[in-house]
A and B are shown apart, each in its own frame.
Chain A
Amino acid sequence: MLIDVHAHWGPWFFSMEVGPIEVNSELLDRFGIDLQLVSSIEAIVYDAPAGNRALDEQLGVDDRLRGMVVVDPRRLEEARADLTRLAGDVRWVGAKIHSEYSRTPIAAPAMQAAIELTTEFGLPTLVHTWGDTVLDLADVAARVPGARVLAGHMGAAGWPLVPEAAGRSDRIWFEPCWSAPEAGRIRWILDRIGPDRLMFGTDATLIDPSVALGALEAADLTPAEADAVRWGNAVGLFGL
């Protein structure tokens, strides 16, 4: 079993052709991914409500896809409407906040308000973290009662801060996808925080799943670690 907790649907503005939902399905087939949690690129980079609506129409195309409601911390009333409409739908299993595209630092009050909102709806929230913002996210998790947050990219080059982040809150999980992965991150982190808070993500269709799979391969996981990281932790966090 393999669950991808960090993926997207829709076209990117880079020199690549990954817009159609069939690209997601083809990558799932080719890399043996059983479930994929996707958020709309339109929702992340341009218009959250419109992107969420567009993804809602696409989810039925492939029953291996689950939706992540994109929340723009600058548009919380509209986010509340989206969450009210989608959070009760079993196809939608979490929320997604991109700190950079929404121009909202993780340490800002608006980010905490957004995570309070997604927590009110009972949704785990995937948040883009880069550098030391992985610590900021841990602090938000510690401040918001009941919040469950997943640090997308686990800080990228900030990955050595993951043990400290894990120590600041027991309601933060980590997902390591990165287009430029440094060597040995996953093994190093597992040896320090154990296997219960790390889970597999790809950033597809932006990044090819082979990159994340190669990083797992390098970590030389034990069977118990593999079960936790590849699917078990995702099932537990997202109720899949």
Chain B
Amino acid sequence: MTDAPPLLDCDILVGHDVTTGRWSRPEKVREVFAATGISGGVVASLRAVHFDVPSGNAEAQEVASGNGWIGCPVLDLRDPLGAEKELERLLAAPERPAAIRLAPAAQAVDPRYPAFGHVVRLVVAAGLPLFVEGDVRVIGPELRGLGARVLFLDTHFYYLGDFVLLARAEPGFHTSTRMLTGPDSLEIVAAEVGAERLVFGGRTPFHETHSVRRRLLSSKLTAAEIAQVGSQSLTKLLEP
């Protein structure tokens, strides 16, 4: 493996994963980061995804502030009217959010529903990048043609070809590395659309972050590309 460059995780979660019953506490995230050499990242709250957006987003911001991470508010796609108000509130705050996370699958909102397109357009109009969970084949087409900056958090290597097709036409489309676990997945994306479209993501502490780290550091990308993917792509994506 190559020596590790700085690593930032684009996909940190805190709170209760209601589908498995498991919990994420900040101390567990810190423990994984200490073992894997990850220095920080972007954190969102499962409380906001599953239950209550304002208090969940406050939780994420508190965790971010307490650990030197970056908070990522969530908007609830089940409540587009509430999402309008929450985004307005976030944009009026002294510290502008770095990105907005959407969870259409967890919230059972089909991307073809009016709410999804409406909330997406609000976020794009605000000039913020979208961090989006779910199947890239289903969600990706609904995000085309908007000039959106998007990070797909759940791209599986089975559907890598679909991501590449989307990303060729959409310069703002990026993908997390988390499930690009085929022997040539990272390498194909880098060759097709550039390493700057790959963003290191571990879904710490629910996913096996050690595996994501090893996949990147033992890849056939150049050292410069590994550094790009490890932290620089995320930093660039979050620039205002």
Contacts and interface: CB of A to CB of B under 8 A. Distances in A.
Interface stretch (B44-52, B101-109, B143-151, B207-215): B207-215
B46 to A, nearest CB: 15
B181 A208 contact: yes
Contact of A217 (B179, B185, B204, B210): B210
Contacts of A206: 182
Given A14-B157, A183-B207, A207 B32 contact: no
A229 to B, nearest CB: 15
Given A15-B161, A15-B164, A182-B208, A217 B214 contact: yes
Contacts of A179: 156-157, 179, 181-182
Interface string B157-175: 1101100100000000000
B67 interface: no
B97 interface: no
User: Which residue, A16, A205, A217, has most C-beta atoms of chain B within 10 A?
Assistant: A16
A208 B215 contact: yes
A27 B184 CA distance: 11
Nearest to A184: B208
9 contacts: A14-B160, A16-B157, A17-B184, A179-B156, A180-B156, A181-B211, A183-B209, A210-B211, A214-B212
Interface of B: 20, 32, 35, 156-158, 160-161, 164, 178-179, 181-185, 188, 204-215, 218
A214 B215 CA distance: 8
Given A15-B160, A211-B214, A181 B183 contact: no
B187 to A, nearest CB: 9
A79 interface: no
Contacts of A181: 207-208, 211
A179 B154 CA distance: 12
Contact of B208 (A15, A16, A27, A218): A218
Interface in A169-184: 179-184
Interface in A197-232: 204-208, 210-215, 217-218
B207 A204 contact: no
Contact of B183 (A18, A212, A213, A214): A18
B182 A16 contact: yes
Contact of A215 (B158, B160, B205, B208): B208
A103 interface: no
Interface string A1-37: 0000000000000111110000100010011000000
